[in-house]
A and B are shown apart, each in its own frame.
Chain A
Amino acid sequence: MKQELLHRDLSNGLVLLGERMPWLRSAAFSFLIPSGTCYETPGLDGLAGMTSEMVQRGCGDLDSRAFLEHLDELGVERSSSITTNHSSFSCAMPSEVLGETLKLYCDMVRRPHLPEDQLDDARQLCMQDLRALDDEPSHRCFSELKRFRYPQPFGRIAQGTREGLDAITIGSVSEFVKSRYLPKGSILAVAGNFDWAQLTETVEAELGSWNGQPPSALPELHENYGSRHVDHATNQTHLALAYDCASYESPEYYQARALVGVLSDGMSSRLFTEVREKRGLVYSVFATCFSLAGHGSVLCYAGTTTNRAEETLQVLLETIHSLKNGITTDELDRLKNRIKSSLVFEQESSAARSGQIASDWFYLGRVPDREEVCAKVDALTCDGLVKHFCENLPQNFSLVTVGSQPLELPNGAVDAQS
């Protein structure tokens, strides 16, 4: 069956996207609202997360309990999350209840009750998340890296801060909903077994009259570089390292992503081979691409016992720089196979596909199909990748360590700062 992106721009600015997967019994949607942490009121860090928690405490004709019970009755698997840009609500369900589920979520974004008597419960829940993060060193090093590398408002983390959560009032939550839960900039992506005509009819009926101003423009992002240490009584030192690369929107993103793939995709990747297989320095090591406000970064992680942390960082950096010495055809072929297979696996999951569609639309304003992705992957060459690496040598490093001893970036890495 030919892959087809179904697309409707509502007059209020909401974008509705769909991809039919009629071989599945399920349907899934990913609803992105432009109300992420970067839109939080200064001083109220955690407002996006607490608002997301509050809107799920009753809406339309249903109170908090009736809302959740109705979703359980329908058999909806659901999750919500906060990113820098969005509050995201994702659901997967038997396809026959898609319409009814969507109606509930439309009520949730448009007519939440925001019960004042539950504000402190929601605040406590968010405080729990924050304290739990403090006890998870491998997660904490990435939160601290985000805070360190990206200045405000981009460096805020979903869990917020103690002070921010304490300062939130019902007025600030309700103002955030009013000013940030808006159709312009919202993306609703549906994948799975559904009828497009029925879907558009439901969405037009439920969200067509939703109105509001577009989200305000964000300042320009300027990253911070250097090292930061967070003292934590642990056996291992957890390292999170970032350096510049092409962002998701860039025409050169596929090269940047492929270079990270050579470093980190699979058990034959360079980081796994050099850091774990040959030297036994870690159990976990990886690199991934991350894009924020048009800036791309490679994020790397390694966790190792404290006395081997310096060696681990050294090997990590050497392995990254080894890309300039060449990439073998075999490495590139393996990577191409992995990416192409993952496109097939995606056809088995409506949830994965709806998430990808929403994300592509946000970054690119379009959704590349499998054919286009395969063509771009096929066009990658070893020489082209090495050339891209040499023309964009890793620079602007940020390093965060969580553990019992600090670690500094070696001189070579610091010298490469622009």
Chain B
Amino acid sequence: MELLTHKVENGPEIVVLHDPTAFTASLGWFVNTGARDEVPELAGVSHFLEHMVFKGTQRRSADQVNRELDHLGAQSNAYTSEDSTVFYASVLPECLGHAVDLLTDLMQPILHEEDFETERQVILEEIAMYDDQPPYGAFERAAELYFGSHPLATRVLGTAETVADMSVSQMRDYHRSRYTKDNMYLIASGKVDVSQLINHVTEFANDWPTSSQPRAETKVDFRTASEVLNRESIHQHYEVQMWPGLHRNAPDRYALRLLCSILADESGSRLFWELIDTGRAETAAIWPQMFDDCGCLLGYLCCAPEDAVENSLILQRVLQQALQDGVTAKELDLAKKKIASSLILSDEKPANRLFALGQSWLSRRNYEPLDVVLSRFAAVDLDDILRVAQTTLGCPPIRVHVTS
């Protein structure tokens, strides 16, 4: 496997993890924009725009876009997060030329008013759908409490109000200011002909807007808080917690992932044995969420309402014990093996490599091959785990409970 990078003159950067033996090719435009780049009254515009990107360009109608994606036999989709918007497709290698042409064309959507109004209804349905699902907005509410006035408090979907009030001209302005040559990367993996990518980007990205404002860096002013959300006639108790975490480039990020695995993996972790194996809870999980400049740890507990108080105490006891005594060498060794195996299995598919490469390029403009990542995990020791536990779980968390 070979990493190839190419900066088109006066254009976006192309990064490819080339594997000539692969059966397929995956490619995607990774745009360095998301909910944190929105002003409050336009909350949700990045995600709404992600939907509108599929609604046609100067060269293609919306119907054509959908038909071509299906004609390619592509496994394609898009997603929006707090700090990125990604459009991707996995195709057979012989379809790569067509796929790059289509995906690149999509980056300059036409944004018709009529399509905007129809799609607004789809987004409102999406908001209604998530509002019906556990944990009923508890993660979003916890992020609002945790980040306060920081832009990372913005809800990725926005709210029914911001989406209802948004205009297509505001979306056009946002697109012009964020989908710029210096803010987008064409990432590919698998059996990829790099020259095809270069030729397309050179030809079609030439007149894209050149540069965007750098993202404003604001310090997170973390305060502890607790809140209860009431939902009519729900059967389970849901609880979300947030602790301070690490940013994406923090050297301790490997130790943090191992810590979360030891404490709260779906199977075989301390919380698994205490809460899941015993049937006390349906889910008990802790995982890191990282951004370029900060991060947090998210905790999620779902159990019967009558067990909520006791389970919360058990969870606190488990965390307290880890803060005090750290973890055992056996636990660390097992967690390393679990993570190594899961990374090796995941690395088999070019589509999975695409996301690892794209995310890594967005946040640090480099890529660590699998063997390097494995060696970083292998190097973590018990002191690293204790240190990272104390800097994260050592702080009192934000708590949001959902009860009937």
Interface residue ranges, A against B (CB under 8 Å):
23-26, 64-65, 68-69, 71-78, 92-94, 120-129, 131-132, 134-138, 232-236, 265-269, 272-273, 276-284, 303-305, 330, 333-335, 337-338, 340-342, 344-345, 347-349
Chain B residue with Cβ nearest A272:
B66
Instruction: Point out the residues of chain A lying under 8 angstroms from B277, CB to CB.
Output: 64, 121, 125
Chain B residue with Cβ nearest A238:
B132
Q: Which of A120, A122, A277, A305 has the most CB of B within 10 A?
A: A277
Query: Hey, what's the 0/1 contact readout for B95-129 against A, CB within 8 Å counting as 1?
Result: 00000000000000000000001111111111011
Instruction: Point out the residues of chain B lying under 8 angstroms from A24, CB to CB.
Output: 348
**B348 to A340, Cβ gap below 8 A?**
no
Q: A266-B69, A341-B72 are in contact. List 13 more A-B contacts (CB 8 A).
A: A25-B345, A73-B337, A75-B338, A75-B342, A124-B279, A132-B302, A135-B236, A136-B133, A267-B54, A279-B121, A280-B120, A342-B75, A348-B350
B80 at the interface (CB under 8 A from A): no
B150 at the interface (CB under 8 A from A): no
Instruction: Point out the residues of chain A lying under 8 angstroms from B278, CB to CB.
Output: 121, 124
Chain A nearest CB: distance from B213 CB in Å?
Answer: 32
| Docked pose: A63 CA to B75 CA in angstroms | 42
A123-B279, A128-B303 known; A235+B92 contact, CB < 8 A: no
**B349 to A334, Cβ gap below 8 A?**
no
A121-B279, A131-B304, A132-B134 known; A75+B341 contact, CB < 8 A: yes
Instruction: Point out the residues of chain B lying under 8 angstroms from A74, CB to CB.
Output: 337, 341
Chain A nearest CB: distance from B380 CB in Å?
Answer: 17
**A283 to B74, Cβ gap below 8 A?**
no
| Docked pose: A266 CA to B125 CA in angstroms | 20
Interface segment among B4-12, B215-223, B227-235: the answer is B227-235
A77-B341, A233-B232, A338-B70 known; A345+B125 contact, CB < 8 A: no
B280 at the interface (CB under 8 A from A): yes
Q: Which of B92, B268, B350 contacts A68 (CB 8 A)?
A: B268
Listed from nearest, the 10 A-B pairs whose CB atoms lie closest are: A75-B341, A124-B279, A341-B73, A280-B121, A128-B282, A266-B70, A268-B66, A337-B73, A267-B66, A283-B126
Instruction: Point out the residues of chain B lying under 8 angstroms from A338, CB to CB.
Output: 70, 73
B273 at the interface (CB under 8 A from A): yes
Chain B nearest CB: distance from A279 CB in Å?
Answer: 7
A69-B334, A129-B282 known; A349+B121 contact, CB < 8 A: no
Instruction: Point out the residues of chain A lying under 8 angstroms from B125, CB to CB.
Output: 236, 280-283, 303-305
Instruction: Point out the residues of chain B lying under 8 angstroms from A122, CB to CB.
Output: 279
Instruction: Point out the residues of chain B lying under 8 angstroms from A65, CB to CB.
Output: 273
Q: Which of B63, B280, B348 contacts A25 (CB 8 A)?
A: B348
B85 at the interface (CB under 8 A from A): no
Q: Which of A236, A333, A344, A349 contacts B132 (CB 8 A)?
A: A236
Instruction: Point out the residues of chain A lying under 8 angstroms from B128, CB to CB.
Output: 235-236, 305
**B348 to A334, Cβ gap below 8 A?**
no
Instruction: Point out the residues of chain A lying under 8 angstroms from B350, CB to CB.
Output: 348
Q: Which of A68, A77, A123, A235 has the most CB of B within 10 A?
A: A235
**B342 to A334, Cβ gap below 8 A?**
no
B293 at the interface (CB under 8 A from A): no
Q: List 12 A-B contacts (CB under 8 A).
A: A26-B344, A68-B268, A72-B334, A128-B303, A132-B282, A138-B132, A138-B133, A267-B69, A267-B70, A337-B72, A341-B92, A342-B73
Chain B nearest CB: distance from A381 CB in Å?
Answer: 18
Instruction: Point out the residues of chain A lying under 8 angstroms from B279, CB to CB.
Output: 120-128
B154 at the interface (CB under 8 A from A): no
| Docked pose: A94 CA to B70 CA in angstroms | 33
Instruction: Point out the residues of chain B lying under 8 angstroms from A345, CB to CB.
Output: 23-24, 75, 90
**B129 to A283, Cβ gap below 8 A?**
yes
Instruction: Point out the residues of chain B lying under 8 angstroms from A277, CB to CB.
Output: 62, 66, 118
Instruction: Point out the residues of chain B lying under 8 angstroms from A124, CB to CB.
Output: 278-280
**A132 to B66, Cβ gap below 8 A?**
no
**B66 to A135, Cβ gap below 8 A?**
no
CB contacts under 8 Å to A, within B312-341, are 334, 337-338, 340-341
Q: Which of B65, B67, B92 has the most CB of A within 10 A?
A: B67
